[in-house]
């Protein structure tokens, strides 16, 4: 998508997201790319959004969503790797906010897919959105997360997000609930080989980020901390790609 004009992006994403009346300030959001490396080829978790959603209806996406205020006030078993936290922090994002953004990826993965990332053991919090971790005895952990990409939704959408794409391996999952998550955000959960995922009905930015991830995995199969992070955003009516 890098180098595309705003008009080209609008045309490409016409079915991905409803167009809106004007620029809205992007909301912090996070999404988790969960990778299963147990077989002969790496598979990725995707879920299909309901058609009733205004944002990317019917598309296969990674679990994710907005960062909530409570995400900054929940304890965790282990922090982000310092190299990962340093890349998430910038002039507008404090270390505390960076950790909250990462926590929201873990929370959303539980809510949408019933997958809890962390360590088995005692965990207590009064925050309502985290009671699934309390009930299942899992303390969330930020240590397995790797920062893969960042993308800001172009202006003119009914929803705009400043999304951090994070990745983790299925090895770091503490529990997978057979009934799935408590919400109905995603109506179908699938594990697809990366090559098949690139051909699925996914948004343009998802395909771009998956392509970036595939190239990174070829050079660094274990996703070492501190790897280069592509940052996609619109500037002067053209989509830009920088490296963080």
Which CATH number is 47's domain given?
Answer: 3.90.79.10
- The predicted model scores a pTM of 0.89
Report the pLDDT value the prediction gives residue 243, as an integer from 0 to 100: 97
Residue 122 lies in a domain: yes
Residue 106 lies in a domain: yes
Report the pLDDT value the prediction gives residue 28, as an integer from 0 to 100: 97
Measure the CA–CA gap between 157 and 41, rounded to whole angstroms: 36
Between residues 45 and 5, which one has the greater pLDDT?
Answer: 45
- What are the DSSP calls for 79-140, one per residue? ---HHHHHHH-BTTB-HHHHHHHHHHHHHHHHHHH-EEEEEES------GGGHHHHHHTEEE
Residue 115 lies in a domain: yes
Average pLDDT (34-58) is 83
Beta strand spans in 155-204 (E)? 161-169, 173-176, 186-193
Element (H, E) at 240: strand 238-243
pLDDT-above-70 percentage for the chain: 88
Calculate the CA dihedral of residues 197, 31, 142, 190 and round it to 10 degrees. Answer: -40
Residue 1 lies in a domain: no
Q: What confidence category does residue 78 fall into, taking pLDDT thresholds of 50, 70 and 90?
A: very high
Give the domain extent around 141. Answer: 6-243
Average pLDDT (45-50) is 88
Residue 80 lies in a domain: yes
Report the pLDDT value the prediction gives residue 16, as an integer from 0 to 100: 45
* Of 8-17, 22-31, 41-50, 169-178, highest mean pLDDT: 169-178
Contacts for 235 with CB less than 8 Å, ≥ 6 apart? none
Number of domains in the chain: 1
Give per-residue pLDDT as tens, 183-210: 877 888 999 999 999 999 999 999 999 9
Average per-residue pLDDT for the chain: 90
Residue 102 lies in a domain: yes
Measure the CA–CA gap between 214 and 208, rounded to whole angstroms: 10
Decide: 11 and 2 in contact? Cβ < 8 Å. Answer: no
Residue 67 lies in a domain: yes
Average pLDDT (77-103) is 97
Give per-residue pLDDT as tens, 119-139: 999 999 999 999 999 999 999
Measure the CA–CA gap between 161 and 151, rounded to whole angstroms: 8
- The full length of the chain comes to 244
């Amino acid at each position: 998508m890098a180098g595309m004009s705003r008009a080209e992006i609008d045309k490409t994403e016409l079915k991905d997201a409803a167009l809106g009346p004007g620029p809205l300030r992007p909301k912090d959001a996070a999404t988790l790319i969960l990778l299963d490396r147990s077989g002969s080829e790496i598979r990725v978790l995707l879920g299909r959004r309901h058609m009733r959603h205004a944002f990317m209806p019917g598309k296969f996406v990674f679990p994710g969503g907005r960062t909530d205020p409570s995400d900054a006030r929940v304890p965790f078993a282990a922090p982000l790797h310092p190299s990962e936290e340093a890349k998430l922090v910038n002039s507008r994002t404090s270390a505390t906010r960076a950790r909250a953004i990462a926590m929201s990826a873990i929370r959303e993965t539980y809510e949408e897919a019933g997958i809890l990332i962390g360590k088995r053991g005692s965990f207590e919090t009064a925050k309502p959105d985290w009671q699934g971790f309390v009930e299942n005895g899992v303390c969330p952990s930020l240590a397995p997360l790797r920062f893969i990409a960042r993308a800001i939704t172009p202006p003119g959408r009914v929803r705009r997000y400043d999304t951090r794409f994070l990745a983790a391996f299925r090895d770091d999952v503490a529990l997978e609930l057979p009934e799935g998550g408590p919400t109905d955000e995603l109506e179908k959960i699938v594990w697809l080989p990366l090559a098949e995922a690139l051909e699925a009905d996914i948004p343009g930015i998802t395909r771009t980020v998956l392509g970036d991830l595939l190239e990174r995995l070829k050079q660094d199969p274990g996703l070492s901390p501190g790897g280069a992070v592509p940052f996609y955003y619109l500037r002067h009516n053209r989509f830009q790609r920088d490296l963080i």
